[in-house]
Amino acid sequence: MAFQWNNGLCPSAVEAIGQTPLVELSRLVAHAGLSGRILAKVEYLNPGLSKKDRVARQMIEDAEGQGLLRPRQTVVELTSGNTGTGLAILCAVKGYHFVAVMSAGNSVERVRMMAALGAEVILVDQAKPARAGEVSGADLRLVEQEAHRITLERGAFRADQFLLEGNFRAHYLHTGPEILAQAGCVIDGFCDFVGSGGSFAGCSAAFKERNPATFCCLVEPERAAILAGQPVTRPQHPIQGGGYSMARLAALQAHPPDAYLQVSGQEAARAAQDLARLEGLFAGYSSGANLAAAKEMLATTHPGATLVVLLNDSGLKYLSTDLWPTRLGCETFFLDSPSI
C-alpha cells in the first residue's frame, strides 16, 4: 500500500506524518570553512519526533492491506525508541495494543514517551559489561530474543523493521521523492547513519533512479563498523539506533552503498551541538553522525558538492545523555522579574 499524504486538515496524527521541511545548512558549512551545500531533511518534525514514524505507518498499513494484521491484535517490535514511538502513535490511533521491547541502555526519554502514548514498554537488561546510554549488538540480541518470545506468547503481529519491506518502502516512496521535489537541484551525494538500513536503501534507490551518479555513503560508528567489514573493537557507543554489529540487513542487500564512513561519538556530538548553535535545529546523535560524515565528504572527496542528510530524531530524546552537557560554552542568565 502506498498511502497518500494529507495537505489539509488531518483526521488523525497518522496523516500528519511526512512532508517534513528540507533546510540548507549554510551557516554550518561556512563555519567549517567548506565549499558546497548540505541540505537537511528535518525528520524530527514528524509527530513522534523521528523519521521512524514513516516506517511505522508503512509497516502497519501494508500489513492491514495484506491481511496480516487483525483488528485489535497486539503489535510487538524491538526498538531503540524511535520505531517504538511511531508504532505507539499508529496503534493508539488504530486501536492496537503495542508492546515495545527495548534495551535498558537506551535513554529514559524514549521509554517515557512510548508509555505516554499507551505502549507497554518492556526493558531488557544489558549484557555485561554495560553502560547506560551505550547499546551494543549483544544488548540488541537479548532484546530480539525477548521480542520473539513475546510475539509467540501473545499471538502478536511482529512489526519487524529489520525484515519487513515497509521499512524500505516508506523512504523509497516518500522520503526520497520529497527531498528530490524540495531540493530543486541535482543531489550529488547522500550520507546516512544506518540502523535497520531502510532510510539509506529507500532514499538511495529514489535518488539513483533520478541520477545514477548520486554518491550514497553509509555511516557507522567508529570501531563498530561491521557493515564496512571492519573488526568491532568498541561495541558500546553513544550513537543510539545503529552500529549494532548486524552483518546482514535486508534493506541493504539489493541497495549496497557506494562507500562507508565511520564517525566517533565525539564527532557526532560536536556536529549536533554545532547544528543547534549555528542553525537552530535541535537533533540527536545519529543526526550529528550524518552531519559529521557530510562535512568529511565536503572536506575530502566531494568539495563543492550538494549533499543531503536526514535529521533523524529530536535532541529532546537525549536530554539525559552526555549529548547535552549543562554548559556548552554559552552563559545562562536567570531573570528575577516574575513579569517576564
pLDDT at 336: 44
pLDDT for 189-214, tens place per residue? 999 999 899 999 999 999 999 999 99
Say yes or no to pLDDT of 133 above 70.
no
**CATH architecture assignment, domain 13-47+165-318:** 3-Layer(aba) Sandwich (3.40)
pLDDT at 240: 79
What is residue 244's three-state secondary structure? coil
Least confident of 11-15, 232-236, 279-283: 232-236
Q: Which residues belong to the active site?
A: 52, 286
Under CATH, what is the fold of the domain 52-158? Answer: Rossmann fold (3.40.50)
Residues in the chain: 340
* Three cell numbers written together for 211: 541520477
Q: Where are the beta strands (DSSP E) in 54-188?
A: 74-78, 97-103, 120-124, 157-158
Least confident of 38-52, 114-128, 139-153, 228-242: 228-242
Name the pLDDT band for 244 (thresholds 50, 70, 90): low
Name the pLDDT band for 340 (thresholds 50, 70, 90): very low
307, 308, 314, 319 alpha-carbon torsion, rounded to 10°: -20
Q: Which pTM does this prediction carry?
A: 0.90
The answer to whether 305 and 298 are in contact (CB under 8 A) is yes
Please, where in the chain does CATH 3.40.50.1100 lie? 13-47+165-318, 52-158
Angle, helices 176-183 vs 198-210, to 10°: value is: 50
Nearest to 293 by CA among 302, 282, 284: 302
CA distance 188 to 192: 14
Say yes or no to pLDDT of 6 above 70.
no
Torsion sign across C-alpha atoms 59, 79, 243, 46:
positive
